[in-house]
Every structure is written in C-alpha cells, then in structure tokens.
Amino acid sequence: MASPAASSVITALPETTDPLKIYTTIASLRSYRHPLLSTKSLGFVPTMGALHAGHLSLIRTAAKENDSVAVSIFVNPAQFAPTEDLAVYPRTLHTDVALLESLNAEFSADSTTRGRIEALFLPSVAEMYPHGIPLEENAQRGAFVTVQPLAAKLEGITRPHFFRGVATVVAKLFNIVQPDIAYFGQKDVQQSIILKRMVKDLHFPVQIRVCPTGREVDGLAMSSRNVYLGERRRAIAPVLYQALRASEDEYRRLAAQGGTVDAKAVLAKGLELLQPGKDVPFEIEYFSLADLQELEELGTVDPKKGAVLSAAVRMSPVEEGQGPVRLIDNIILEAEE
C-alpha cells in the first residue's frame, strides 16, 4: 500500500474545495470520533482498498442511513498466509481517495443522503499491530480474536489463519472507530456470520449490516482480486454464480413440492455446471449447503429455516506471469414465512 503522510491528519487532493480528512493514527481518529459519540450516528465501511463498485454501494448505503460515514483502508497482514498474495495485493490509494472524494460530491448534491464521508482511516501496520505481525502464525505476538468453530469451516478449511486475522483486525477497528453500524457485503457471507458472532459474544455496541453482493453484468461477484484473472479466466469465472443459481432453482423446485428438501439433489444440480475445462482448469474447494447460524452442512433443508449455498474455486494460471486466483460466492436461501 502506498505510504501515507507522516502527520496524523493529512489532506488528500488539496485542489478540491472540501477535501477528505484522512487520519493515520488511532489517537487522531479518536479525536475526531469522541465529540460526536452522543450527537451523530456513524456508519463504518472497513476495506482493504482497491475500491470497486461493490465498496461504493456499501458507502452509499451507510451515507443514507447515518449522519456521518467513516471508511478504512488497511491491507491486513494477519489474514494472509506466508504463501498468499500480500506482497502483490492491489494497492490503488490515489484512485481510492479520488473515488471517495467523488462520492462526497455526489452526497452533497443528493438531498436524500443524510451523511457524507467525514473520515478516512489509513493506519500503518505498526499502528495496528504494535508487536509486529509476521505472517507465520506461530511467530506472532499480541492479542488475537478467534471465533470457533465457525472459523474452521468452509473458507477456514483451506485458509485456517484467515478468520483469526479478520476477526482480530475488525475488533481493533470497531474499538478505534466506535461505529453505530458497520457495513459488509454478502459475498463474504462466512465473514459476516463470524463477525456477528464476535460482536454478540464480545458485547460490541455495533450493528452488522450485510448488503447484497455487488456483481458484474454477467453475474461475477465483484472483488479486488478479479484484476488478477486475465481475459481467459475472466470469461469462465461467471460459471461459479451460474452453478449456484442452478442449485437455487433446483431448491425452489423441490421446496414447492412441500416438506424438506434433499441437499444432495440441490448441490448435484449446480455441480453439473461447475465442470473444469481443459483450457481454463480450476479446482472446486467446496460447494456447500449449510445452515445460517453454525454453517453445519445439511442433509436436508427445512424451507422454514432457510440455508446458505456457498462455493469456492481455485482457478489455475493459464498465461505466463499469472498466479492462482480463488473465487468465492454464495446465495442465501431465505426462510419461508
């Protein structure tokens, strides 16, 4: 990530008449937040930067529902394993700041929007992890948050370090920013379930708001990592969502017959579509139908309780210079009333 200025409050794009305020230290961010605790509601959108339309949609929702909005950009080392893509994770700070400035101009012109972005938090790794944060988990020192057994399922099977890092950094951010509502996208559904459990168990006075997944016109879930796909893999990538939709359709068909629904039949319909090709090979890491609270795999689905369809694939490199790319996606099967 591009290095922020050394001062605790810096101004981005000084040519604008109403610049975005950027805070790089915890103390400076708290000095902004404390006077507002009893007078203004604060919506918070934590990100790792490389902002796309999905992020902007979250910020727009936060601005409509709150008096003010805070956004953070922090590429969190604790959720990367030593073999993962921390060093090359997309960092587009100047573009990100310009997008946030444009959003504030949009909010000023829209009478239906309550708030605007009043703070962009850009902490350093040293600020967030005073004891350092080596990627090897057994070498890490300090306080960390784990949410078990949720963190060991689905994504946690192939990335056992991941949700420990996510829960830890979000707990830190909630403690620093003290938002009333925090906004997350449904694409990371397991993350949302884990963070809701963390907030409940640790008594954070924060509401978690999960917003619909931002999608490209062909259905691919928006992700900062999509830039890694390249043309050939990008053309194939929407098959993941298509497979989930096929399983959803089968679930609806079976549920309409009454009674519980066989999970194996639902998953089989999607897996018919999710077949790796020779030109663009990929590995299915999981294709899951689980309950919405504990993420336990289901044998049958009670339509009165609902469930979550989720999947992950790892797409292999197909051109020189590429690395593998993981895609995740999900569809919530809402409980019938």
Cα distance between the two ends of the chain: 46
Question: Does the active-site annotation cover 55?
Answer: yes
Q: Determine whether 159 is exposed, middle or buried from the number of CB atoms within 10 Å of its CB (0-12, 13-18, 19+).
A: buried
Residue 75 per-residue DSSP state: -
In this structure, what token pair is assigned to residue 59? 């910020």
User: Are the beta carbons of 304 and 266 closer than 8 angstroms?
Assistant: no
- Write the single-letter amino acid at 224: S
The 10 Å CB-count burial string (b at 16+, else e) for 124-149 is eeebbbeeebebeeeebeeebbebee
Distance of CA 39 to the CA centre of its chain: 29
In this structure, what token pair is assigned to residue 271? 């897996």
3-state secondary structure of 337: coil
Please compute, for residue 64, the number of CA atoms within 13 A of its CA located in the half-sphere on the CB side: 9
User: Are the beta carbons of 332 and 306 closer than 8 angstroms?
Assistant: yes
H runs (alpha helix) in 187-229: 189-202
3-state secondary structure of 215: strand
Comparing CA positions, the residue from 102, 121, 91, 106 lying closest to residue 23 is 121
Choosing from 34, 52, 55, 203, the catalytic residue is 55
β-strands 21-23, 9-11 pairing:
antiparallel
Give catalytic residues, as residue numbers: 55
